[in-house]
Amino acid sequence: MRRREFMQAMGSGLAAAAMSATAGAAASKHPGRPNFVIILADDMGFSDLGCYGSEIATPHLDGLARDGVRFTHFYSAARCCPSRASLLTGLYPHQAGMGGMVTRGETAAEEGPYQGYLNRSCVTLAEVLRHAGYRTYMSGKWHVGERPEHWPRQRGFDRYYGLISGASSYWGILEQERDRRAFALDDERIVPGGDTFYMTDAFTEYAVTWLEEHAGREEPFLLYLAYTAPHWPLHAWPEDIAKYRGKYARGWDTLRAERYERLVNLGIIDPKWKLSPRDPDVPAWEDADNPADWDLRMAVYAAMVDRLDQGVGRVLAALRRLGQEENTLVMFLSDNGGCHESVEGRNLNTPGTEPGERGSFVAYRRPWANASNTPFRLFKHWVHEGGIATPFIARWPGGIARKDALEHQVGHITDIMATCLDLAGADYPDTFNGQTITPCEGRSLAPVFRGERREPHERLYWEHMGNRAVREGDWKLVAAKDGDWALYNLAEDRTELNDLSKAMPERAEALFKAWDAWADRVGARKPA
């Protein structure tokens, strides 16, 4: 369903409210209680935005950065479901029941850290803010509970439109995927599609609709806009692809070198951090098979990021038009690093189609994901920097005086809950709906926004699918599944090239013991 159809279905009253002359009244009546807009990209790498070194056109996100703060050390939880759980709850994924992936369909996993849906020992940002007097809206990918009793409206959102499940065709739910993919408007399951439907645009349309629906209300609001872009499959409008076709024929090696240089020049990375070598499973560009196909794949990926940015521009324009810009904190990040996966084995690609077209179902794969994650190594799913380092941009004209600022303090996805509650003057509950609630792990970023030093996390921890890590200050201990632990000094070597575990065994052992105790505390699985 397109936005104009939705507006017609809702009647003229909603449209009239959107044009109300009192649209800006709510912001002026609550100068100390900002609105929140949280925008989440899906599988977008560290260097995929212009303001983070990319050649992709992202003028609206670049503008957001110029008017606010860019973080250089911000972390996700390594993958879609865990990151979404942490963002929504302020907890480590395991504490919220999302240590692994979502439970599909009606099959419920055993309750616990890996049950595959948000548990009742956590509380969502929407639940707390709604209790504190906020209106709460969401548009986009949910992916933290697929059964109707776990959908967004059951976890604190007043309005919802989007994809309940994981990745899907951007042109609508495929017939052969309808038993595995769910789309919803509020509590009703729907099947979007049609010649004009494109998922990224639809999420933007409804985000703007929710803002317009809010016009004239006195309450502040939360809008959570969770795009699927640029997650596979590679689908984009032809006019967006045309902007980039041929620009990647120079190959991934050149692209990584160019992005690295821009990252250094922007001050986002320290020049003493060497560019990680090309991934060992990626050939040199001159040895690549079918370079024209590879060029097209990256062109489509770039077009998807471009279209996401266009959507962000429309949301920011709506905030201005409705008089809400000054008192709205906008935060942007990605759920994990670029994705190395190949999806051809799903047999959803129609023979004879090209990447980007309807009927195609392919990914940009490991070589381009390696470029997306410049300068780091490894990818989504791992907890090396390439899997967990994300751009993070914050802008709040009425509350953040800093402009075009780079922030090198460390932030974590759990901090979003703590930040919003701090700025809203809302209390994180000990109990909710009769359930004891796990204490929040995040720490407010408000002091950082003011340009102050905040008390950092003593340590940050990760575990996903056997990949595990702990960071304490500048020190990080990390291991891939079934791999040995390695120790890195991130101040000197953030690209994780010089393992110091044998040179500094006592430090490595202390960090391991800290991770081991954390795993016991949150229920994270340990290697056999």
Token reading at 330: 């906008």
- Starting at the edge strand that comes first in sequence, how are the strands of the sheet with 475-479 ordered? 460-464, 467-472, 475-479, 486-489
How many Cβ atoms are within 10 Å of 348's Cβ, its own excluded?
16
For the question of residue 408 being annotated catalytic, the response is no
Contact 282, 370 (CB under 8 A): yes
Torsion-angle region of 162 (φ positive above 0: left; ψ -120 to 50: alpha; else: beta): left
Distance of alpha carbon 353 from the chain centroid: 29
| Burial bucket for residue 110 (CB in 10 Å: 0-12, 13-18, 19+) | exposed
Token reading at 303: 């077009």
If we measure between CA atoms, which residue out of 3, 40, 59, 53 comes closest to residue 209?
Answer: 3
Interior angle at CA 40, CA 37 and CA 42, nearest 5: 165
Q: Give CA–CA dist 431/123, Å, rounded.
A: 9
If we measure between CA atoms, which residue out of 296, 315, 417 comes closest to residue 360?
Answer: 296
Q: Give CA–CA dist 336/130, Å, rounded.
A: 28
Name residue, tokens 């977008």: 44
Between strands 328-334 and 389-395, the pairing is antiparallel
Catalytic residue among 60, 73, 94, 143: 143
Q: Give CA–CA dist 460/250, Å, rounded.
A: 38
How many Cβ atoms are within 10 Å of 24's Cβ, its own excluded?
18
If we measure between CA atoms, which residue out of 252, 366, 391 comes closest to residue 312?
Answer: 391
For the question of residue 51 being annotated catalytic, the response is no
Distance of alpha carbon 364 from the chain centroid: 18
Catalytic residue among 51, 60, 73, 80: 80
Cα–Cα distance list, 89 to 118, 181, 240, 329 (Å): 9, 24, 35, 18
Which SS3 state, helix, strand or coil, does residue 296 take? helix
Q: Give CA–CA dist 74/64, Å, rounded.
A: 17
Residues annotated as part of the active site: 80, 143
